[in-house]
Structure 1
Amino acid sequence: MATLKYQPPHFCIPQIPPLKHNYTTPLITISTLRTRTITCGLRNIGPRKPMWRSRHLSTEAIQAVQALKLAKNPTKLNQVFDTRISRLLKADLLDTLCELQRQNELDLSLKVFEFAKTESWYTPNVSLYYDMIMVLGKNKLIEKAIELFEEMKKEGLKPDTRAYTELIGAYFQVSMVEKAMETYNEMKSSGCIPDKLTLMIMVRNLEKAERDDLSVSVKRDFEEYVDDADEFLEEVEKKYARNPLVVNKM
């Protein structure tokens, strides 16, 4: 009996010549073809915000900001509040306020600020006030800034270092140097510790106002409130000082 043998078919694989790179044509690499994911959103720029505020604005908050800015008369503005602002969640409403403040939309910021205080979830919050005081100071509305500062205390809130610093900055914006110094001393007597930002603002503006007597007194506080007093003093002197001062350690 004959035996059948199986032989696999022979495939002819053509030889592909190696590619020669044409240096006039850029190579397309795998990394070039990778898809990149880009997250779009309006960032909160400026001082760090409390952690209960989102890092990026939601679609609802973005639309709310746009709608408020497009409302050109009181009637349309009221409609925006009735149909859009009143429906925002707490986080979205606070983010809307934060973004308006960042864009220095003063009138709209004040309206949203007052509206937020009427919401059922509202509880007095120091940070809500000092952000608004900062914007008022930037726009040199010192009387309104003082009013909010006093309102904050009436609501049972104790001003912290940041709140005092924003009010001090507002006074300096309108060249009320004595009131700024008075508020600085009030902050210290209340138990709030001036931080480096507070001290820097004080020295910078006192030097600018040529109040060397007051500037020297603030520099003496470095030893009490700053760990690296000598190093910090050197930094401040380099930037702002008119009269160099040596801090003598006890």
Structure 2
Amino acid sequence: MATRLFSRSKIPILASIVLQNLTKNPSKNFSFLAFKPKSPIVDFVAHEPILGLRQYHDGRPRGSLWRGKKLIGKEALFVILGLKRFKDDEEKLQKFIKTHVLRLLKMDIVAVLIELERQEETILAVKIFDIIRKQDWYQPDAYIYKDLIIALARTGKMNEAMQVWESMRKEDLFPDSQTYTEVIRGFLKDGSPADAMNIYEDMIKSPDPPEELPFRILLKGLLPHPLLRSKVKKDFEELFPEKHAYDPPEEIFGKL
């Protein structure tokens, strides 16, 4: 109790001492106010969180759609949500496209396309891409084709992937090694080795030299098809003589 009383009485005692010193020599005692610390004082920004606590809601949407996608504008975000909402109703979807999608700016509609591919909404992405191709500012771009074809192949929509593929070739654009790899992988996963071989033949005739990865994908996927695999292996050994093509034991798949 005595300690508590003493602590309460310290403030008036200190205050009286300070007042007495100030009245005696004010200029000397005010010198401490002009003291400048050697290290700069850190300015605290009011909107930054303190100790990990957010002081206010900044108004941005929450969730996986927005995370890492700060460049997506509000209109583009609204369009993405609307397309997903009406994707099972063609009539409402077309109406939504006419009233909202067609008025988007160039960067917004491209952002919508990229985000739909990321979310594996590939059928909607194809519709948006068809709209982009009809715009006055559109110019053939191999990278836009590449991303869409790869997204379709990875989701198993090989028919749609080949339709986009044909459109790309009509615009005198050629796939790169990654595109060939994903389409070949997609056909093998789909159980269509003949279609995979057609893409392989197209790759061999491509102006760009083939890379190693598509060959290895084929060599692995064609294990149940020794005749097709032997052709790919022969081409692989001619193009990459320093590389080794792995052959599994004969008791698994027979003699290759």
TM-score in terms of structure 1 length: 0.62
- 1:206 paired with 2:222, answer yes
Kindly tell me: are residues 35 and 143 of structure 1, through their superposed partners in 2, closer, same or farther at Cα, counting changes over 3 Å? closer
- For 1:171 and 1:34, how far apart are their aligned partners in 2? 49
Point out the more displaced range, 213-222 or 120-129: 213-222
Which has the larger Rg? 2
Cα contact 1:138–1:173 (8 A) shared by 2: no
1:242 to 230, 242, 248: 248
* Alignment correspondent of 1:97: 113
- For 2:230 and 2:24, how far apart are their aligned partners in 1? 101
- 1:75 paired with 2:71, answer no
- 1:33 paired with 2:51, answer yes
* Alignment correspondent of 1:61: 76
| Count of residue pairs brought into register by the alignment | 198
Amino acid at match of 1:68: L
**Matched residue of 2:222: which SS?**
helix
* Alignment correspondent of 2:131: 115
Q: CA deviation at 1:145?
A: 2.5
Amino acid at match of 1:132: L
Identity of aligned residues (%): 28
Q: CA deviation at 1:7?
A: 4.1
* Alignment correspondent of 1:176: 192
Cα contact 2:145–2:164 (8 A) shared by 1: yes
Cα contact 1:85–1:93 (8 A) shared by 2: yes
Q: CA deviation at 1:68?
A: 1.0
Gaps (5+ residues) in structure 1? 1-5, 12-30, 45-54, 245-250
Q: CA deviation at 1:67?
A: 1.3
**Matched residue of 2:248: which SS?**
coil
Kindly tell me: are residues 59 and 195 of structure 1, through their superposed partners in 2, closer, same or farther at Cα, counting changes over 3 Å? farther
- For 1:147 and 1:33, how far apart are their aligned partners in 2? 54
TM-score in terms of structure 2 length: 0.61
* Alignment correspondent of 1:135: 151
- For 2:212 and 2:107, how far apart are their aligned partners in 1? 30
Point out the structure with the larger helix share: 2
1:154 to 156, 170, 173: 170
**Matched residue of 1:76: which SS?**
helix
Point out the more displaced range, 216-225 or 66-75: 216-225
- For 2:94 and 2:208, how far apart are their aligned partners in 1? 40
Cα contact 2:154–2:182 (8 A) shared by 1: no
Amino acid at match of 2:79: A
**Matched residue of 1:104: which SS?**
coil
Tell me which of the two structures has the higher relative contact order, counting C-alpha pairs closer than 8 angstroms and 6 or more residues apart. Answer: 1
Aligned-residue CA RMSD in angstroms? 3.8
- For 1:175 and 1:91, how far apart are their aligned partners in 2? 38
Q: CA deviation at 1:116?
A: 1.1
**Matched residue of 2:219: which SS?**
helix
